[in-house]
Amino acid sequence: MNTRDIMAAERESDDDWLLEDQPAHAGDDPGIQVRPFRILIVDDEADVHSVTRLALRGVTFKGKPLELLSAYSGAEAFALLQRERDIALCLLDVVMETDDAGLRLVERIRSELDNQLLRIVLRTGQPGQAPEQRVIVDYDINDYKAKTELTTQKLFTMVIASLRAYESLVTIESSRIGLAKILEGASNLYQVQSLREFASGVLKQISAILDVGAEGVLCVLGKGTVPGMNGPTVIAGTGNYASLVEVESLPDNHCLTNGILSAFREKQSRHGHPVDVLFVHTEQGHEFAIAITPAWPLADMQRNLLEVFCQRIGAAFDNLYLFGQLRKAQEATVAALADLAEFRDEDTGGHVRRVQLLTDMITRRLHDRQACADELTPHLMDLIGMASILHDVGKVSTPDNILLKPGIHTPEERTIMQRHASVGEQILRRAAEMVDGETYLTFGAQIAGGHHEHFDGRGYPRGLKGKDIPLSARIVAVVDVFDALLHRRPYKEPWTMEATLAFLRERRGTQFDPEVIDALISLMDESIPEWLTASD
């Protein structure tokens, strides 16, 4: 082939109708870098690469330049396409290292790489080698040209038409993926249980929707949303903005501050590369802004997807707020029940609080040591601390003369005293059955009924053994005895830490779960919290 044929025809005037599309946002601003359209030239003749580059020099489409890549064989092109997934157009020779290298590459692109977006134009200098009709029917290509017919103007026309088709397909695919991620993301956000987890989830989902690795920072502003905060309060950040989480409010001189304050003031999102600010107002009256700094100006499709997502996360935020209020109400109810049980016994004033703190510590240590992994569910880890304060709620049924007796109980009194485990379990279980799913009451019932069972089966009220005793109860069994020995009771003086740990070691594997004992001892070997040995 004579590659100079490409330049032989007279250069016609530009077809303005091909470029009627609006340019990309900020495309006329030389200070803003925009993502180019990438075109891959695959041909074993160096002259074809040179002439193609010369013919397309200076061409732009929608305000974006062209970036031309080169490969000189089918294998080299495949490796490049495997690495670079954002190439829009491939100008592909048919005959290279083999007579059908180009055709084989087409099959590999569509099947092995599963790349259906790339526009492929076959160029051949030997039309008889691969008849046009057969190639068009048998191979998933978008155009088929003889090199001799590709004048500069026809090459220009073919490239612009291919880029327009590619952009339309990318928009459709991005919308599909983006909407799927919005639905998935909104579902995930409804599951989080803290404001910072929620904010981090928002930023991760936005980065996924944009698919540009955007930095981000979520700031919350609104009466009652973050008590005591007057300015934009950073809740979560990624990348270069992660350190902002450590400060109480966004610095006045920060590059994001003006955009965020303007969004709050105007009650609307603000877009202007390099900073885009999404404003969200919820039905509960909360307001927050998400500032992102994507590498490229956002396309209209991306902005629209983000606005849809913001509507969904506004509802998720309200759900999180209401969930938090409900959880506080549950915790207040649990605390009231525990106070009711302890009200009659002034000598156990700080007991339930210490039991709660130490139960949480031991549970986390068991998790860190990968002990009881089959029983340490996320729900148990989340709820066991608060549930533990209900362990003696059944004492409301114990007569004062027995509950407050300063001496040793008689066998008959001991029998009456021991009934508090069954009574507490029954009270809490009936309450738990009124609510779907696992709650504080669920684990509270397990703990109340099982924290006097012994690991060897010699405890009460049912004589359960080993892992037949719920893990929550096995943990609180250790914590309850540990704290009771360390502090004064009507029938005893406080023990020393050494004597208390020695007592627990002696009963490791008989009265107490060995793994729970080991977790407690490892905690005490590291550090003894001040609150643990403080006076009631």
Enumerate the active-site residues. Answer: 395
Task: Look at the alpha carbons of 340, 346, 350, 352 in this order and tell me if their dihedral is positive or negative.
Answer: negative
Q: Which two tokens stand for residue 265?
A: 């003031």
SS3 content of the chain, % helix, strand, coil (to 5): 55, 10, 35
278: helix, strand or coil: strand
518: helix, strand or coil: helix
**What is the distance between the alpha carbons of residues 187 and 287, in angstroms, rounded to a whole number?**
21
Query: Can you tell me which residue has the tokens 């009574």?
Result: 423
Q: Is residue 498 within 8 Å of 485, Cβ to Cβ? A: no
Long-range contacts of 15-22 (CB under 8 A, 24+ apart): 15/153, 15/156, 15/157, 15/160, 18/157, 18/160, 18/161, 19/61, 19/62, 19/160, 21/61, 21/62, 21/164, 22/62
Cα-based distances in Å from 168 to 40, 118, 348: 19, 12, 71
Q: Which two tokens stand for residue 346?
A: 């002034």
Q: Is residue 271 within 8 Å of 231, Cβ to Cβ? A: no
**What is the distance between the alpha carbons of residues 139 and 104, in angstroms, rounded to a whole number?**
9
Close Cβ partners of 85 (under 8 Å, ≥ 6 residues apart): 115
How many other C-beta atoms can be found within 10 angstroms of the C-beta atom of residue 317? 24
Q: Which of 315, 241, 330, 324 is nearest to 284 (CA)?
A: 315
**What is the distance between the alpha carbons of residues 36 and 60, in angstroms, rounded to a whole number?**
9
Interior/surface letters 233-253, b for 16+ CB within 10 angstroms, e for the rest: bbbbbbeebeebbeeebbeee
Phi, psi of 89, deg, nearest 5: -140, 140
Q: How many DSSP H helices and E strands does the chain contain? A: 18, 11
Pairing of strands 275-281, 270-272: antiparallel
**What is the distance between the alpha carbons of residues 310 and 364, in angstroms, rounded to a whole number?**
35
Interior/surface letters 294-312, b for 16+ CB within 10 angstroms, e for the rest: bebbbbeebbebbeebbeb
Alpha helices in 30-151 (DSSP H): 46-55, 74-83, 101-111, 132-138
**What is the distance between the alpha carbons of residues 204 and 215, in angstroms, rounded to a whole number?**
10
* Amino acid letter for position 374: D
